[in-house]
Structure 1
Amino acid sequence: MKKEEYTVWRNPRGNGLLHDGESVTPPEGWEFVPSGDAGLTRRLKMAGECWVMVHRRRNRIEAVGLWTSARRAAAVRAELELERRDPARQRRLEADKRRREAKQAAYTVEFRNAVAAYLHFAERWSGLEAKLAAAVTEHAVPVGSGTVARTQRIPLERRAEAAVIAWMRHRTTAYDHMRIARVKGERREVRRQLAERSRRLLERYRSGEEADLRNCPLAQALGESGEA
């Protein structure tokens, strides 16, 4: 069995641990190292045998730390501490951070432009278009947001469209409060219907027709109360 597959759970009926449903006790001289330092966790997994302690959060399994040799953990911590004090390492980290920030800033502009291109509102509604593009971008592009904007598997134009529809689903419909039957395909169908409703609403602003902003769910979500 691979070390990374050796997972343990807290025993809900006692103070011990469980592995494959059986009670287990960490070897003598082991200690628990909580998650939080990715570099330390990675080194410890590479350094020798360890148990990955997990728990269930909502619908997924998350690691909360490692059980491993206390002596090994102390040695790895000391090694990492020396490396992290190295001025050259700090300069590399700062340079990497600046590159990531510059890349993120460029992508933010690129994504906002793609959203605006998808919206393509008539000139009279250009102000509303700008506010919607900014709102969708602010929600979708942060690193770690888990939104469609962060995937590279589909073209930018499709990411922009999907992000707009997702934003409108949560901000201009009652989707978040709907009671949807647990029937296969039901949630997908509800989302499809709401997406069509959102696309029809967007089309009104593309065509340049009159709109009562006081009663428009999109305008209300963006804080608009009068004509743009």
Structure 2
Amino acid sequence: MSNESAPFVKNLIFQSKDLGKQSDLMLVFDGKVDGMGDHFPVVWRVSTFGDEGPYQMKATYRSQLAFTKPQVEHGSVIGAATAVEINAGQQTILTKTGNVFKFSAPVKGTSSYLKATNLAGAKQNLAIGFMGHGALLPTPMLYFKNVGDDDFVTAHFKPMLRAYVTSDYQETEIWKNSPTNSTFLWEEDLTDLDETTTWNLTWDGHTGRYTIAQA
């Protein structure tokens, strides 16, 4: 995504019919991210697909990114104290005046990475998210824990989305450990997809394997 490019939208539809086993499908941006900072993915979507009948989950991604100062409770992102929209190659600074946090207006940086510097006087948690259409605050995707004062995080973010079947996580939960009983069964760089795509979730009762294939 360049600074001149308008944000693109990707609509994904996951569906099943008579799946054969009640299953929870989880979507998370946990592909490799180039950059610096101790980061964890944040669970985007979770939906239960029943064993019989038709089921569907819709998810919409918009490529306008934002840095946030997230509000976290019990290991989940529940909101944001403040946020700023940012594009590739830009940087911003987090400061604190009294009890109020604020990001500076983004300016051009020295690389193609996103960059946020913490100058708020103490360690702070930061996050990268995307702005939904008309949303005031972003949907969180990556969480950076305890960024030091006068320290920064950088990221060259690609919207690499993965799907898992697991019942261990909820939406907006900070995903600090890989699923213990499953591996991802689907992976796509959203920039490569059409604006709207439909995907069929199936389960093989003989092998116990799940498959996601484009409809």
Scaled to the shorter chain, the TM-score interval is: under 0.3
Give TM-score scaled by structure 2 length: 0.21
Q: Tell me which protein shows more strand as a share of its residues.
A: 2
Relative contact order, CA 8 A, sep 6+: which one is greater? 2
Give TM-score scaled by structure 1 length: 0.20
Larger CA Rg, structure 1 vs 2: 1
